[in-house]
Structure 1
Amino acid sequence: MSIPDDILALARTAAQAASDKLAGEVIGLDVSELVVITDVFLVCSGSSERQVSAIVDGIEEQLLKEHRRKPLRREGQMDARWVLLDYGDIVIHVQHAEDRAFYALERLWREAPVLDLQIDEGGPAAPAGSDSSSAA
């Protein structure tokens, strides 16, 4: 994999933020060998315009909080059908599920290796000191 660790960390933070907002099919594609404008495409979907907006807001909040990064460019926010967040090294596509099926970015970029985003599907972590696995 040719993605630098800091960019991979950015992609993983964005992916986890999307997953925390119940985004569907969160995937990261290493496009560094295929395009010159960015290294990673992160693609995810929401089932409604409201969810797409919530996913976008969650991603922006986490990337600002954890990496002090704001998008260089944002497109599609008004319609909330396909919102593009451009962070330079990573471009995030948050699509309405219908639009994602129609445009099929994963198929368009099928030559790009899929990244291991290490998403915790269990949701936000439990507070420190709590142990839900211990028996009473």
Structure 2
Amino acid sequence: MPASDRSLELVSAAAAAASDKLATDVIALDVSDQLFITDAFLLASAPNERQVRAIAEAIEEALLPRGAKPVRREGEREGRWVLLDFVDVVVHVQHTEEREYYALERLWKDCPLIELPEHAVSDQQA
């Protein structure tokens, strides 16, 4: 079963917020057929810890008016990999080095990409 309309709405808003904060390599994966706990992953990168935290905060602020509040939040203090769990969508904002090392998109390569609106995709794709 593909990601729900609600999940797609949240992914789109989160991707736009990440892009507004200059996140790079913003992609979304439909993991609904692989995981029963969430529909989608949003992945975004940043070159430093401060920007990782800023992107995560911007995503939270963008989803709050849509009635989405994270049920779990991890990694904010270190700022290398912030995970925001919105139940329907799990957001991973990673320092560029962590993104390359852990390569989540490679781990989830069998999952289809979710097409993001043009305004939600950064011009700074690495």
TM interval, shorter chain, is: over 0.9
Unaligned runs of 5+ in 1: 124-136
Structure 2 residue aligned with 1:18: 18
Q: CA RMSD in A?
A: 1.5
Q: CA deviation at 1:7?
A: 1.2
Identical-pair percentage: 53
Which secondary structure does the structure 2 equivalent of 1:57 belong to? helix
Report the count of equivalent residues.
122
Q: Is the 8 A contact 1:15 1:119 kept in 2?
A: no
Q: Report the Cα distance in structure 2 between the residues aligned to 1:122 and 1:41, rounded to whole angstroms.
A: 15
- Paired residue for 1:103? 102
Distance 1:119 1:78 in 2: 31
Q: Distance in 2 between matches of 1:79 and 1:9?
A: 29
Question: Measured at CA, do residues 122 and 105 of structure 1 come closer, stay the same or move farther in structure 2, by a change above 3 Å?
Answer: closer
TM-score, length of structure 1 as denominator length: 0.86
Aligned to 2:49: 49
2: CA distance between counterparts of 1:22 and 1:87? 22
When residues 64 and 99 of structure 1 are mapped into structure 2, their CA distance, relative to the original with a 3 A threshold, is same
TM-score (norm 2): 0.92
Partner SS, residue 119 of structure 2: coil
- Which structure carries more relative contact order (alpha carbon 8 Å, separation 6+)? 2
Equivalent runs, 1:2-17 vs 2, <5 Å:
2-17=2-17
Residue in structure 2 matched with residue 61 of structure 1 by the alignment:
61
State the match for 1:92 in structure 2: 91
Q: Runs in 1 of length 4+ with deviation above 6 angstroms?
A: none
Which structure has the larger Rg over C-alpha atoms?
A: 1
Q: Secondary structure at the match of 1:120?
A: helix
Larger helix proportion, structure 1 or 2?
A: 2
Is 2:88 aligned against 1:120?
no
Distance 1:119 1:63 in 2: 19
Cα distance in structure 1, aligned partners of 2:30 and 2:56: 21
Q: Is the 8 A contact 2:15 2:120 kept in 1?
A: no
Partner Cα separation in structure 2 for residue 80 and residue 62 of structure 1 = 19
CA–CA separation in structure 2 for the residues paired with 1:122 and 1:82: 20
Q: Which amino acid is 2:51 matched to? A: Q
Give how far 1:69 is off.
1.4
The answer on whether the counterparts of 2:15 and 2:121 sit within 8 Å (CA) in structure 1 is: no
Q: Deviation at 1:121?
A: 5.8
